[in-house]
Amino acid sequence: MRQFRYILLLCLSLLAKVAIAQLPDGATAPDFTFTDINGNTQNLYSYLNQGKYVAIDISATWCVPCWNYHNGGVMDSIYLAHDLPGAGDWKVMFIEADANTDSADLHGTGTNTQGDWVQSAGYTIIDPLQGTALNNFRNGYAISVYPTFYMICPNKKVYQDTFRTILAPYVQTWEYAADNLCTAAGIDNLKDYNPVTIYPNPARTTTNIYFALNNAGKIILTVTNMIGEVADVRDYGVLYPGDQFLVYDVSRLRQGVYFFTLTSGAGRSVRKKIIIQ
């Protein structure tokens, strides 16, 4: 009986340590830069600063639950709907974070793998070599178990527990997190990282401008083309604190690249690129 109590206390102690090690929901996501398996540089903050959501599956090639989730096609569905084949408002990444595995394991030909993780996967795959960058990533994101899933909002806030608790293969789990956990930032707060989101982008008929105000202010939208010529100016009057949602008709603009500059009464201006198709 005493031995059982000792084992129980030991298990509870280990669980507590794991819980403490988790990166708290709502924390600021540490930046990272890796080279993916195709030789392309992938920097987290460069995507967040574009207003993108970032979905990360952190796994190991030998991990059975990771392999089952991989074969469920969830990340493929998110990629097709929200990465470049779809709306382009997300970046989807798979990171193999075990330094003891290698490229052969990733491609399913090694001795420490469940299969080929690369075949038919369109999303970005990163297989970092052992070293400082990988160690910093593992420590920064408190990787204590595989798989670990992170949704990172454009304002750099990170959420994990939704995916650790609901490991059902539903795309809606990720989309729920993006829609309900990633809150809009305030355009008149100089500390905001991504105060304005435009969706859809590219746009054909209309697009939506999402932002929030910390204080009431007059909002003016200025639309310019690539050479700085003003194509349109809209005065939306005084808007009050809180989440804001503006609909802009882009059908009057010619196809091409434009810049939307949103200015508040507090003198805060944010410039965003938009593509009109």
pLDDT of amino acid 130: 93
Q: Which two tokens stand for residue 277?
A: 């198709």
Beta-carbon-side half-sphere exposure of residue 159 (alpha carbons within 13 Å): 22
pLDDT of amino acid 40: 97
Burial 53-90 (b: 16+ CB within 10 A, else e): bbbbbbbbbbbeebbebbeeebbbbbbbbbbeeeebbb
Beta-carbon-side half-sphere exposure of residue 260 (alpha carbons within 13 Å): 28
Q: Using CA atoms, how far apart are residues 237 and 230, in angstroms rounded to an integer? A: 19
Q: Using CA atoms, how far apart are residues 271 and 160, in angstroms rounded to an integer? A: 30
pLDDT tier, 126 (very low <50, low <70, confident <90, very high otherwise): very high
Q: Using CA atoms, how far apart are residues 113 and 249, in angstroms rounded to an integer? A: 51
Burial 20-35 (b: 16+ CB within 10 A, else e): eebbeeebebeebebe
Chain mean position to CA 162: 14
Ramachandran angles phi, psi of 214, nearest 5°: -85, -25
Q: Using CA atoms, how far apart are residues 228 and 254, in angstroms rounded to an integer? A: 15
More confident residue, 43 or 12: 43
Q: Using CA atoms, how far apart are residues 118 and 103, in angstroms rounded to an integer? A: 10
Q: What is the pLDDT of residues 215-263, one digit of tens each?
A: 678 899 999 999 999 999 999 998 876 667 889 999 999 999 999 999 8
pLDDT tier, 100 (very low <50, low <70, confident <90, very high otherwise): very high
- Provide the whole-model pTM: 0.62
Measure the CA angle with vertex 52, ends 175 and 257; round to 5°: 125
Give me the domains of the chain, ranges plus CATH numbers.
Answer: 15-180 (3.40.30.10), 196-276 (2.60.40.2550)
pLDDT of amino acid 193: 56
Burial 97-130 (b: 16+ CB within 10 A, else e): bbeebbeebbbeeeeebbeebeeebebbbbbbee
DSSP 184-223: PPBTT-TT-S--EEEESSSBSSEEEEEEEESS-EEEEEEE
CA-nearest of 179, 131, 139, 3 to 58 is: 139
CA-nearest of 43, 187, 53 to 126 is: 43
Do 76 and 127 contact (CB within 8 A), yes or no? no
pLDDT tier, 22 (very low <50, low <70, confident <90, very high otherwise): low
Chain mean position to CA 172: 15
pLDDT tier, 4 (very low <50, low <70, confident <90, very high otherwise): very low
pLDDT of amino acid 11: 37
Q: What is the pLDDT of residues 145-162, one digit of tens each?
A: 999 999 998 777 888 866
pLDDT of amino acid 191: 55
Q: Which two tokens stand for residue 146?
A: 């595989």
Q: What is the pLDDT of residues 172-217, one digit of tens each?
A: 778 878 877 776 556 765 556 567 888 888 999 999 888 877 667 8
pLDDT of amino acid 7: 35
